[in-house]
Structure 1
Amino acid sequence: MTRQEISDEVWAVLEPLMPPWTDHRLAVEGMAWKFRTGAPWRDVPERFGKWNSIYKRFNRWAEDGTWEKLLAEVQKQADAAGKIDWVVSIDSTIARVHQHGATLPRDTGAPPNHKNPRVEPPDHAIGRSRGGLTTKVHLVADGRGRPLGMVLTGGNTADTTMLAATLDDICVPRASRGRPRTRPDRVLADKGYPSKANRAWLRAHGIATTIPERDDQIAHRRKKPGRPIDFGTDQRERYKGRNVVERCFNRLKQWRGIAMRSDKLARNYRAAICLSSTLIWIKTDLINTP
């Protein structure tokens, strides 16, 4: 007996969304097994099929955007059912890059193309930080801790510089006609994001904020008085909900292939996160299981 990677209930939701030219269940279960265990592709058990065929299918879908489309489709179904909480939380997490994932030449510090995440950045979203070679996952989660958008950068990238790009990755299609929803009602963030540029960007896009000030910003205002930031009792109560993004990271990193990156391409690592995120959405909303 082996543990089933994708249950029948989950597959009943996922199957109609898959490309229609064959039955993909074994291949998708093999992909989920690989990233859940963190094993190399060559170690994917034969019960899922030939490892090379599974890898080629995963890589092709990462290249043509299939994984992003699957994630957007389950988000669309959840939104149509009114199950998305648009008071969102944003934060980042670090993933150590395994030596097998750091073999490609890198132009460290080169700017990634956040407008099209399928375009491989020159540095492959790998940077050198105190933890060595790392990738940083900037992620925004809805009020129930499900991923809405994400951006990958090198681990040495400051959180505050990526707020706008991460929120711009939100794109939830409508079930009926209309433009996709791209703006949350409110953003909750910690003291890594309170810059004037971020607050100005959020105001310009009509997004309410709950972001506390750092001590140095408060001290600077005492020297040069300015308009104080409202962070009273109501804001402190709202801020208690910010931890949903941390719980989202905990769920994603239960997959060892996400907790430690072994993919050479940032595009493929993002695809793995999209696969895991799709299953999170299905399990929490579309089949009503925890």
Structure 2
Amino acid sequence: MSRFRMLSDSQWALMEELLPARSGRAGRPFADARLMVEGIIYRYRCGIAWRDLPPVFGPWQTVWTWHRRLAGEGIWDTVLGILLGAAEAAGLVDWVVSVDSTIAWAHQHATNVSRRTGAGSNYTNPCLEPPDHAIGRSRGGLSTKVHQLVDGHGRPLVVLLTPGQAGDSPMFLPLMGQLRINSPGRGRPRTRPDRVRADKAYSSRAIRAHLRERGIGAVIAEPRDQAGHRKRRGTRGGRPPAFDRDDYRGRNVVERSFCDLEQWRGLATRYDKLAITYRAAVAVHMVFVWTKDLAPLRSGGNHV
């Protein structure tokens, strides 16, 4: 079983107390819930079909049912929220955040489902399936775009999906709207980072105004066309936006985060027909990342 297992004992100890013991309200309790989670992780890490799941995990239909129900009930987002609150209490969250997106090409197994295009593509409710299933046609074919907000160490905080042809800039405000991390004690959840690092795709007046109104530092590169337009207007164009080039170099953490995400082959290529199950798998990866950093605190005697 060892070669099929990704979770350490300390990681599972963090998850076990946060996950339900049943696959649904009326389901029978599992003899080993860890086996179900390991099966989900193994499937997405290897990018195999569900029916090709090794027998060591039990019937593949059981593992699939467990994953589908947890996805529909938003359990993985709940678990992630609790872990992020524990990380904030332990001082692990770096509030200099970075934002970007990556493309996941949709396999033909994910696309043989009817889709209503032209519907709202912003997938902001993890428990609600969008009409287009977050699949769109971009250069290269059908794809899904994964938008992430990560902390200063590249650990994911928020994830949203859109069809592949969707732009990055319109998803910035929904991502920021989803950022809520419980603070220690009884204070309000923290929703405002210290600074935001982003590339030229996020350089818009609306985004800069939003950050300025909330007192959040903007480290966003300015495209050449915007700089040229401002200069042509002369004094009416205003001053160039502040930009710290040295600080901007730290934006590479979000690129490294995507590299880590795409080590799971079932996330680098989308095989899931439903956006709700694919996004839940991304949330599983986020939980996996945070438990790796929180597990040493628990084993060291700190309460997490």
Interval containing the TM-score (normalised by the shorter chain): over 0.9
Aligned to 1:129: 138
| Residue 271 of structure 1: aligned partner | 280
Indicate the RMSD between aligned Cα atoms, in angstroms: 1.6
Equivalent-residue separation in structure 2 for 1:176 and 1:56 (angstroms): 37
Matched, 1:41 2:50: yes
Q: 1:242 aligns with which of 243, 248, 251?
A: 251
Once the two structures are TM-superposed, the CA of residue 239 in structure 1 deviates from its matched residue by: 0.4
Alignment partner, residue 281 of structure 1: 290
How far apart are residue 227 of structure 1 and its match? 2.1
One-letter amino acid of the structure 1 residue matched with residue 279 of structure 2: R
Q: CA deviation at 1:113?
A: 5.3
Residue 20 of structure 2 is matched in structure 1 by 19
- TM-score, length-normalised on structure 2? 0.90
Partner SS state of residue 52, structure 1: helix
CA distance in 1, matches of 2:190, 2:135: 30
Question: Which residue matches 2:183?
Answer: 174
1:76-155, aligned counterparts within 5 Å? 76-112=85-121, 114-155=123-164
Number of residue pairs the alignment of both structures matches: 287
Offset at 1:19? 1.4
8 A contact 1:113–1:119 mirrored in 2: no
1:261 corresponds to 2:262:
no
Contact 1:114 1:165 in 2 (8 A): no
Matched, 1:69 2:78: yes
In 2, the alpha carbon distance for the partners of 1:180 and 1:116 equals 19
1:192-229 Cα shifts (integer Å, max 9, x gaps): 11011111122223221000110001110111132223
Counterpart of 1:17 in 2: which secondary structure? coil
Find the counterpart in structure 1 of residue 211 from structure 2. Answer: 202
Residue-by-residue CA offset, 1:153-187 (whole Å, 9 max, x unaligned): 00101111111111212121234323222221110
1:184-199 matches, cutoff 5 A? 184-199=193-208
Instruction: Tell which deviates more after alignment, 89-98 or 276-285.
Output: 276-285
Distance 2:98 2:287 in 1: 18
The letter of the residue matching 2:103 is I
Give unmatched runs, 5+ long, in structure 2.
Answer: 23-28, 300-304
* Maintained 8 Å contact 1:94/1:135: yes
Instruction: Please give the alpha-carbon distance, in whole angstroms, between the structure 2 residues aligned to 1:222 and 1:268.
Output: 47
Shift of 1:108: 1.9
Post-superposition shift, 1:14? 1.5
Q: Sequence identity of aligned pairs in percent?
A: 48
With structure 1 as the length reference, what TM-score do the two structures score? 0.94
- SS of the residue corresponding to residue 17 of structure 2 reads helix
Q: Following TM superposition, where does structure 1 have runs of at least 4 consecutive aligned residues deviating by more than 3 angstroms?
A: 20-23, 112-115
CA distance in 2, matches of 1:64, 1:192: 33
